[in-house]
Structure 1
Amino acid sequence: MNAQDPWAGILAPDETILWQGRPDTRPQWAALTRQRMVPAAVFTVVAVIWFVQAAALADRGGVAALMPLLALPFLGIGLYHLGGHVLWDAYRRGRTWYSLSNKRAFVATDLPFRGKRLKSYPITRETILSFDGAEPGSIGFAFEPVPMKRGTRMRMVGFERIPDGNTVYALLRGVQGKIERDLPPGDG
């Protein structure tokens, strides 16, 4: 990459940027569902009780002095599930940039402990596009595996909560259409 052209070395010679944007960074409080909040509240209350009780014993020294510290990770997990995930998601979106070329979609992030990352996803005629039609809108164009305790689940990747979803969706469909028009006869 050079200072004149930040895309030098990233884009193919016949590749051009069609659109660039950023997601809406407002917290999505609607993600706080009862199914998630009730267990998180119970977990958090138990962690607080553990911390308070352990702190009362900490003045005895020795291992008892470490007990409040052992409660802190559980308190953090509880607070994250109680509402911290909404704030983290908003923060993550604030550190995210999107670009669309005539061949690929790009998602760039710059997050603490992860650093700067740029991922590209080819847009082909086989790419399954999904658009929620909302304002701001989200458009999916790829899937990535997420390791779980028991197996793997697939997470949709795309442009999340963008203000001009209809325009970007039309551009993505146009990229797919151009790919179809560029195919030799008999390959479509």
Structure 2
Amino acid sequence: MAKAWEDCFQPGEKLLWEGAPLPGVRGRAKIIGMALFGLPFLVIGGGLCIAGLVAVFGGQTLTEKGLGLFLTLFSLPFVGVGVFLVFGQWYVAAQSHRRIRYALSTRCAYVAKSWWTQTIESYPILPASSIGLEKGQSADSVWFHARDEKDSDGDRSTTRIGFEHIADGDSVYRLIRSIQMGTE
């Protein structure tokens, strides 16, 4: 994070913990599904691009060369989407731990993300807040906020917000519990 967490705090608020997700790719099933979806874009777009380039450089007439140029330019968005879906999302998933930072103060949980722009979200830790600890094999997640959402069809879903894939989930969970009880 470029600036200090304390710049976001209210008077009297103190930093108790800060961290980040552990490195690694998460959500492999979703990534593989999207890669399979993107494979036809890549194969067909790549084939059209190659066919267009062959026509541009091997065409006998100006019409063949023009059609080849059109075909090459037409195929580029499909190749781009295919490359991103098949390869790019692996890179984005592997780098996400570098773009997310977490902090816990005596009053709030903070989540900072820096992708295209930097955002900082704060979630007050209240006595009535529903919290949870999810133990994993190599990393834990501590949940401290749930948001009910409604989609365009009227279906409801709950999105959990928390410190995901951290190394010291037990100690962070205990800190949040102590904030709730007013002992921190």
TM-score, length of structure 2 as denominator length: 0.73
- Unmatched 5+ stretches in structure 1: 183-188
Aligned-residue RMSD, C-alpha? 3.4
Instruction: Give unmatched runs, 5+ long, in structure 2.
Output: 58-63
Deviation of residue 163 (structure 1)?
Answer: 0.9
Q: Does 1:142 align with 2:145?
A: yes
Q: Is the 8 A contact 2:100 2:111 kept in 1?
A: yes
Q: What is residue 185 of structure 1 aligned with on the other side?
A: none
**2:6·2:15 contact (CA, 8 Å) conserved in 1?**
no
- Offset from partner CA, 1:57-113 (integer Å, 9 cap, x none): 3454546424323323322322333243232022122122110012111111222xx
Look up the match of 1:76. Answer: 80
Q: Tell whether the 8 Å contact from 1:31 to 1:86 is kept in structure 2 after alignment.
A: no
Among all aligned residue pairs of Structure 1 and Structure 2, give the percentage whose two residues are the same amino acid: 25
Report if aligned partners of 2:52, 2:67 keep a CA contact under 8 Å in 1: no
Distance 1:117 1:34, change over 3 A: closer
Q: How many residues align?
A: 174
Decide whether aligned partners of structure 1 residues 119 and 39 sit closer, same or farther in structure 2, where only a CA change above 3 A counts. same
Partner of 2:121: 119
The structure with the larger Rg is 2
CA distance in 2 between counterparts of 1:38 and 1:133 reads 30
Alignment partner, residue 129 of structure 1: 131
TM-score normalised per structure 1: 0.72
Segment drifting more, 161-170 vs 63-72: 63-72
